[in-house]
Structure 1
Amino acid sequence: MEPMQMALPVTLPDDETFSSYFGGEQSLEVTHLKSAFAKREAQFQFTYLCGLADSGKSHLLYATCVYAQELGLSTMLLSLREVLHYGPEMLDGLDGLDVVCIDDMQLVAGNESWEKALFNFYNRFNEPGKLLVVAADLLPNMLNLFLPDLESRLTWGTTFQIRSMSDDDKAEALVKRAKMRGLELSDDCSRFLLTRLSRDMRALLDVLDKLDHASMAAQRKLTIPFIKSTLGL
């Protein structure tokens, strides 16, 4: 069965790459994920990313898929938050892909049908040439999973516990992301956004996207007065 085409969530910006990751391209997690691509031909590669909101784990999943596409590999990012209500049939056919990333694993904890489907998918996917990355907000032994065997599988690979971003991290990330778009965002402007808007990184990136379009349309630089006017603050 062919996998359903719900690959990369449209809510994610198109610049979620390893180079834009706030931890840096030389971070242990990025270095590991890149090296996993080279190792997968000899042995199945599994990585578990653990972190709370704004830790950047979803960014790493998306970046992994982008990197896979650049290498010409078939890939899919499955956000369980987006597809949970469709049922575990969403996993059908994914074992035919080279790289699979699964986000929000904690949402299926206690759901017997989903846990069994994920366990069976893991076993089918576990072969040379394949790369699997899973993200959740807690470590496997803290998820209260129904299936002990699934918990065991989730501990087989390399696990990274990623800290949440501080306000300084977020301000720096906004400036960096703006620069990648050819947009100049001063430190003062980034801090203004953090003090006046939600500190959720995804929401902040959505705002940056809106400001980018507004700046291009008006041929204006990003200043605090322009930001206020554009966002109605």
Structure 2
Amino acid sequence: MLSSQLALPVTLPDDETYASYFGGEDSLEVSHLRSSFNHLNEQFQYTYLCGLGDSGKSHLLYATCVHAQELGLSSMLLSLSEVQHYGPQVLEGVDALDVVCIDDLHLIAGDEAWEKALFNFFNRFNEPGKLLLISADLLPDMLHLDLPDLESRLKWGTTLQIRSMSDDDKAQALTNRAKMRGLELSDECARFLLTRLSRDMRALLDVLDTLDHASMAAQRKLTIPFIKATLKL
């Protein structure tokens, strides 16, 4: 039932919005997704995002759910890396929502039960007033899906290929995210984090959260010595 799905352990970061997307609000991706909401009542809106793990596609899924909530629409983000082990029954009742975002579709490629469930969900959800956003690391015909009909469905709508973030992009994204929190993170400090820690953007944002709390508690600005001491580098 839908009520049980809402208890799934998927949370929406409150600062992952279209405004904080590293490509900017004027990027092709954000412009397209905003336009999709404008045409929601006219016809089914479906977009497929293709990009590697550091491309920012997950950010866009989070941001789309946040935007849906701001518009008063019901929404859900299903991150398959988090819910795959529950089985395809997690899709039961989800078609009652207005906006559904499914992240990391490539993880279920070759799983017969999941592929059939997603194909059936796609068919149920395909109607005006609904918006579906799916992400994967490869294009549909490169996923090695066993169900040709699912591959065909995934090719509907608009496909956007997103480039991976460079180190410059990640440094800028960190400083921008810090600024949104009222935290000053210099470019020098951002690049220090990139050289000393994982370049995974999600991990870097978790570190920024840690530094934010530490800075507030100590009433200290973010400097390289303070970052070293806080993170024990």
On whether the aligned pair clears a TM of 0.5, the verdict is yes
Matches of 2:7 and 2:54, distance apart in 1: 23
Within 5 Å, give how 1:106-185 maps onto structure 2: 106-185=106-185
8 Å Cα contact 1:43-1:127 kept in structure 2: yes
SS in 1 for 2:2: coil
> Given residue 73 of structure 2, which amino acid in structure 1 is its aligned partner?
L
8 Å Cα contact 1:185-1:222 kept in structure 2: yes
Cα deviations by residue, 1:98-153 (Å, 9 ceiling, x for unpaired): 00000010011110110000000000000000000000000000000011110000
Within 5 Å, give how 1:1-233 maps onto structure 2: 1-3=1-3, 4-6=5-7, 9-10=10-11, 13-233=13-233
Q: Aligned-pair distance for 1:167?
A: 0.5
Q: Aligned-pair distance for 1:53?
A: 1.2
Q: 1:6 to 1:170 in 2, by over 3 A?
A: farther
Q: 1:111 to 1:160 in 2, by over 3 A?
A: same
Structure 1-normalised TM-score? 0.97
Q: Aligned-pair distance for 1:9?
A: 2.6
> Given residue 188 of structure 1, which amino acid in structure 2 is its aligned partner?
E
Identity %: 77
Matches of 2:109 and 2:53, distance apart in 1: 18
Q: Aligned-pair distance for 1:14?
A: 1.9
Matches of 1:173 and 1:2, distance apart in 2: 35
SS in 2 for 1:49: strand
RMSD of aligned alpha carbons: 1.0
Cα deviations by residue, 1:48-99 (Å, 9 ceiling, x for unpaired): 0000011000000000000000000000000111111111000000110000
**How many residues are treated as equivalent by the alignment?**
232
Cα deviations by residue, 1:5-47 (Å, 9 ceiling, x for unpaired): 146734x632000000001100011000001011110100000
Matches of 1:8 and 1:41, distance apart in 2: 30
- Unpaired runs of 5+ residues, structure 2, are none
Q: Which runs of 4+ in 1 moved over 3 A?
A: none
> Given residue 10 of structure 2, which amino acid in structure 1 is its aligned partner?
P
Matches of 2:10 and 2:78, distance apart in 1: 8
8 Å Cα contact 1:79-1:103 kept in structure 2: yes
8 Å Cα contact 2:44-2:129 kept in structure 1: yes
8 Å Cα contact 1:8-1:62 kept in structure 2: no
Cα deviations by residue, 1:136-185 (Å, 9 ceiling, x for unpaired): 00000000001111000000110000011000100000000000000000
Q: Aligned-pair distance for 1:2?
A: 1.8
Matches of 2:162 and 2:9, distance apart in 1: 22
8 Å Cα contact 1:7-1:77 kept in structure 2: no
